């Protein structure tokens, strides 16, 4: 998995230097931007860098209000600063990078941000990305979301399978720090070259509910078709990943979810995929890891593996639903754990169920 790496110390130093430089120019100038002035500053400033030191809120006059930034931009959000769009679209001609200090926030309410490549590095403590009926998209390359301690991701009512709004034409990645909380509800998500989620800190949780995840570029439209895997990884002590009543679309490569923390948990309910994936792996391999898979419809080639740790718990029930594999389905817990799985709904030439 090609998960973006970040170095908190270096980021913090760069953020402090950029903020100090902007302060020397006068904070009043930093806070009187209109959207058009912001676009001009992105193009004209050294390094295409703009620093915001306070909450910045812009509202469009109509649902189609659009501001085009004729370049890329690095937006530095100092401590407590924010970029908030309501009924407004920002369209960047070049790459967009947002670097957030402590308590920095990006908020989109019926708003939209698009750029060829997007990196939101909200790596200061308590960083937030909030989306309601909104779009955040990279139009040619990857989209990377990075959070520090106590980061918050909230995406709701934003798109569907035919119109994903948290979308990358490259790979979509999420890197979460400690005590991260995230939810994606009733929304459409796309990673044209796959989706990768990494939990880097303890006591983190992400829930995806009532949403559609497209793991390809979709139907060819003058360009080459691309697709990718769906990975979830983490070794922190206590991480929870849930997928509820959601759909995987064009998931033709691996589905690989492995959490190794002591009390990590994977919960899957009502997940469906009409595409035959390659390997499907759902593992919570920490000492007391837990995996619950209920009422899913999944297809794997060659195998589907569902496991928990030494004193873990594994539960698989499919009524209705089924898990189908061309060669093998294995469901088990560790030697001191508990395993419960009904063979009904498990379809493969070889079944290794709770043994």
Beta-carbon neighbour count of residue 223 at 10 Å? 10
DSSP secondary structure, 310-352, as one string: TT-EEEEE-SS-EEEESSEEEEE--TTSEEEE-STTEE-SEEE
Are 242 and 268 in contact by the 8 Å Cβ rule? The answer is yes
Distance (Å) of CA 315 to CA 145, 162, 321: 32, 33, 14
- Tell me how far apart the alpha carbons of residues 269 and 319 are, in angstroms, rounded to a whole number: 11
Is 323 domain-assigned?
Answer: yes
CB 329 within 8 A of CB 335: no
- Does residue 10 sit in helix, strand or coil? helix
134 in any annotated domain = no
Q: Is residue 233 part of a domain?
A: no
> Would the pTM count as exceeding 0.75?
yes
Residue 338 lies in a domain: yes
Q: Would you write out the chain's pLDDT as a tens digit for each of its 355 residues?
A: 333 333 333 344 444 444 434 333 333 334 568 999 999 999 999 999 999 999 999 999 887 899 999 999 999 999 999 999 999 999 999 999 999 999 999 999 999 999 999 999 999 999 999 999 999 999 999 999 999 999 999 999 988 877 899 999 999 999 999 999 999 999 999 999 999 999 998 899 999 999 999 999 986 656 789 999 999 999 889 999 999 999 999 999 999 999 999 999 999 999 999 899 999 999 999 999 999 999 999 999 999 999 999 999 999 999 888 999 999 999 999 999 999 998 889 999 999 999 8
- Compute the distance between CA of residue 71 and CA of residue 43 in angstroms, rounded to an integer: 5
Quick one: how many helices (H) and strands (E) in the chain?
A: 3, 39
23 in any annotated domain: no
Question: Please, how many CA atoms are within 13 Å of residue 138, restricted to the half-sphere of its CB?
Answer: 26
Distance of alpha carbon 175 from alpha carbon 191, whole angstroms: 15
Residue 136 falls within a domain, yes or no? no
Counting Cβ atoms within 10 Å, is residue 126 exposed (0-12), middle (13-18) or buried (19+)?
Answer: buried
Q: Report d(CA 317, CA 345) in Å as an integer.
A: 8
Best CA proximity match to 272, nearest among 308, 324, 314, 315 = 324
Within a domain: residue 339? yes
Predicted local confidence at residue 270, as pLDDT: 97
Domain count, the chain: 1
| 331 found inside a domain | yes
Where in the sequence is the domain holding 324, given as residue range(s)?
276-355
């Amino acid at each position: 998995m090609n998960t973006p790496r970040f170095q908190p110390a270096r980021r913090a130093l760069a953020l402090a230097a950029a903020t100090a430089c902007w302060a020397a120019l006068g904070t009043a100038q930093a806070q009187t931007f209109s959207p058009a002035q912001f676009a001009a500053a992105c193009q004209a400033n050294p390094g295409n860098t703009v620093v915001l030191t306070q909450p910045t809120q812009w509202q469009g006059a109509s649902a189609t209000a659009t501001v085009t930034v004729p370049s890329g931009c690095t937006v530095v959000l100092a401590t407590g600063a924010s970029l908030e769009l309501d009924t407004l679209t920002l369209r960047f001609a070049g790459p967009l990078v947002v670097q957030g200090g402590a308590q920095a926030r990006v908020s989109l309410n019926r708003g939209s941000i698009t750029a060829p490549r997007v990196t939101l590095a909200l790596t200061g403590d308590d960083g937030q990305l909030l989306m309601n009926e909104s779009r955040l998209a990279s139009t040619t390359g990857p989209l990377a979301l990075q959070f520090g301690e106590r980061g918050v991701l909230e995406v709701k009512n934003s798109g569907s399978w035919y119109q994903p709004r948290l979308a990358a034409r490259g790979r979509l990645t999420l890197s979460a720090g400690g005590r991260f909380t995230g939810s994606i509800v009733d929304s459409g998500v796309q990673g044209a070259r796959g989706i990768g989620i990494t939990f880097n800190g303890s006591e983190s949780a992400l829930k995806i509910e009532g949403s559609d995840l497209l793991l390809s570029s979709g139907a060819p439209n003058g360009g080459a078709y691309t697709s990718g895997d769906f990975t979830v990884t983490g070794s922190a002590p206590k991480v929870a990943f849930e997928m509820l009543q959601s759909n995987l679309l064009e998931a033709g490569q691996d589905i690989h979810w492995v959490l190794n923390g002591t009390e990590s948990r994977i919960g899957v309910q009502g997940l469906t995929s009409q595409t035959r994936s390659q390997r499907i792996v759902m593992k919570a391999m920490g000492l007391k890891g837990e995996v619950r898979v209920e009422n899913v419809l999944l297809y794997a080639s060659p195998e589907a593996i569902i496991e928990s740790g030494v004193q873990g718990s594994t539960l698989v029930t499919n009524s209705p639903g089924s898990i189908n594999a061309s060669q093998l389905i294995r469901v088990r817990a560790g030697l001191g754990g508990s395993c419960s799985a009904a063979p009904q709904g498990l379809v493969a030439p070889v079944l290794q169920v709770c043994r």
